[in-house]
Structure 1
Amino acid sequence: MPDMPEQPTAPLPRPALLVGEAHGRREVPLHGLPAGIIAVTVPRTRKDGDEVLTRVPLDRKRRVNPAVVDLVASDPVPAYDPPPGLADRDLVKVLTTRTRKRWATVEAEFGPQQAWRTTVSLIRCGAVVLRCKVIQTTGFAPDSWRLTPSWASLREDKLAHLRGHPDPLRLHAELLQEMVGVPQLASEHALLTATAPARTLQVPAGSAAGTEDWRVYEVAVRSAAVWWAAQSRPQPMTAKALAGKSMRDTKNPWTPARRQAFANLVGRPFDQAVEETDTELRMRGPLRWRVDDVIADAAACRPWLGLPAGGLRSLGLIDCSAVGVFLVENEDAFTQVCKLPGVTERWLCVWGAGYATHGLAAFLKAMAPLPVAAWQDLDAHGIQIIANLTERIGRPITPVGMDVDLYRQGTKYRQKPEKRAGNVHLAERLAVSGPLALRALAAEIAASGGDGCEHETLYPEVLPTLARTLDQIPGEQTSAIWPFSTDGIA
């Protein structure tokens, strides 16, 4: 049985989102905006391979002159914190927004006088984004609203909580029955047995799921019971298969809160417990975070904490006392680094699959001003990854275990002739325009005919001194709610 993650002993405040709605946008000066609200450009998007890139819309003279804008909160907001005094019936109206609501619909639901006041309070708390038409350059007229990604990811669970269950006694009994015969959930069964059901079902105090939301708890418990029962089978479960068996619907979403509550119950990162097409940023180090009311600890989770790369908008990072962020390119090397206490006690170690580059860049940019170090393959593409990320996050990345001497003694991997030729061309270019600290390595790769050395072959040379090497990188240790970032990513 895998080690269960340690649970935080004290309640944590609701942190601000790491990436907010203003991220990657340009502010537009309009007259008459309420306090706490700004107007921002509506980004234009394009697909680049597996990534969706965004850019600020400009006219032919490179000026920001939008026809439409979005009104968003000017200050950091939690993932979910409704405005004070908003009645449950009105909160239900907000959460029933699936895609967009026209402004005429909003006025019909709340009344012409109340619609604007309610909308302003919802924008300020990060619940909705109001799309507006720009009138004569500095004026605006409401057109429609949509839920922010963090509220949209939680809407189904929050609606279930607000509406209650028509038969709470039956649901309570069903969930207890799901856990019968699953020894790994015996303590959870005892906790739920001791919690009397009411119209609004309550998550038992002390639950390992780490959530206060009943629907999140229900999904996590049902899924954990199915998952544990299937562990004797050689074929691992996919995320969709688990949703189909536990929730009776393969399209039922694995929201960040549900993923982490399930991971807390089974004691494994979500992407290690099941197979899925979405990737995660794996982390180990001195950082704790919270999705709504689900808490996880990147220092306590074994062997690491997995964050969905696409879920950064609904994540708030808190209590980060790391001296820097250390990127490791390949999964096997990341696992080895996670075993080094001298590294993970001080540095936040991160692994993200190649197709998660956009989510990884957003994360690194939001973690400024922490220094960033990276250990990549000693080849042209390893250097290119650092060059690309350096440009996108707007601050330098210090290479570790990537010097010329290590390259010369490393085992070179086999390549096809056409790939080798492409690597020579890329290395020649990087030797001139790449990161300064890696130009000598790029020149050596070009001179060696494009040969590459995978960093997994250099464990004996790099791992024993890695903690000491990282300690030589300048940085300042902090411990606070992490600063909110609204800068875009080029």
Structure 2
Amino acid sequence: MTDTDDSADTVPTPDLEQEELPLEGLAHGIRAVVRYPPGRRRVDRSGRLKYPHVLLTAVDPPNGTDPPAGFPHEELAWLLKHRRRSWKSVTERWGEHAADRADTLVRCGVVEAKAEADREFMIVGVKTSLHLTSAWAASAGKRRLELLRRTDPAQTRSELLRLMEGVSQLQHERELLAAHGRATVPPGSATRAGAWETYEFVLRVAHWWWTDPHRRPRPIPDETLSISHGHRKGTHEVWTSARVHAFENLMKRAISDLLDFPDHEIRVRGPLRWFNGETAIDASRTPPWSGLPSRGVHMVGRLERADADGVFVIENVGTFYRVCQDPEITRTWICVWGAGYARTGLVELLQRLSPLPIAVWGDLDAHGIEIITNLRERVGRAVYPVAMTAEAWRAGPHRSRSQERRRADAGKARILAAKAPEELRHVAELIATEPDLAGLGLEQQVQHGDVFPVLSELLAGVLASARHGTSGA
């Protein structure tokens, strides 16, 4: 699913009936509703309302369209560019902040979130998309310009004409824009851009490309933006697919030939092999682990998961190293180092390994729970925490924290208690409220002595839960 290419104009809303659902797992100030045309309420054989998804809306939305207090203006402007944003694009853009920011936007009446829901257990599931409310859609274009503090498009056009003057490689584009007379993409542009902002972005990068004497032959994306867009947002700009295609069209070369996208290593141990021509990486044979290229493994070659029972994601590198030394586990589990908040490469790998169940083990604190919650939302399917129980948290030993840090982590845990995987919600509640211990946590490594002797049994329990479709929210 991708973001719509439509601009954020007013969306006609038909008269629909609305029914609120008493679902578990809703964040504070948010309710779940189902809407349907009058007289078309769908029910199952038991007379219960049928719904493939729910809408998460504000319990008490404010009047007007004032931006949420403290919300990053550039991120709100990004959201307002389209009426609808897929959850995949939201998590890729906002990372670990995606869930909290989405809930804030729902509570403030900016968006409604479409989400899955478990009708049997009456639990809200993962979000699938965000949609501007009618009030915000009606003023999105104006609001977006205000948030970005951008100049009038006519002024931007004049600046582009000035930038391209004297740059021979851009002479034809300048002539087209000058003759066009308007701040829209001129007919015949080599960029073939569909939107003015895409066109502006590409021309600014191209100007830098052809005029900077210190440019590397294949710069990384951040290098292209820190100077070409230093007047506005610099490296906070994003190379969207539309911008990539327009830049390729203008330069008449593939983006992979123009820019050097940094790769990183995904550390893996277990029954997984990657083949790329004569190159083969066998994660079951190379101690202590094998390194897969985060981009290469998705772009070329093929993956084979021979006799794998599941995927085991471990947050900390020390614990991952110890797991890799246990042949009983690595014989049937693809063990992956999570390295904190999941990068896109790891998320894509886990998605490719579907439908293998995903077990996760992290620090038993607010951030560890948030990392797992974020991973579940980005991968888009169930994850199964192991060794992260309320009993283990109570037993400690707890990591020392300042009072300020404890208050912050307790607040984070209070939010997570409503949206974390089911197995972790009680732990999150304890971290938020337990007298004398609120805001504390324990690192993965202190659990080694208790967990490793029974880790195989815990992972067997994950397989049983996955087979029966229980837990692993």
Normalising by the residue count of structure 1, what TM-score does the alignment of the two structures yield? 0.44
Normalising by the residue count of structure 2, what TM-score does the alignment of the two structures yield? 0.45
- Whose RCO is larger (CA < 8 A, sep 6+)? 1
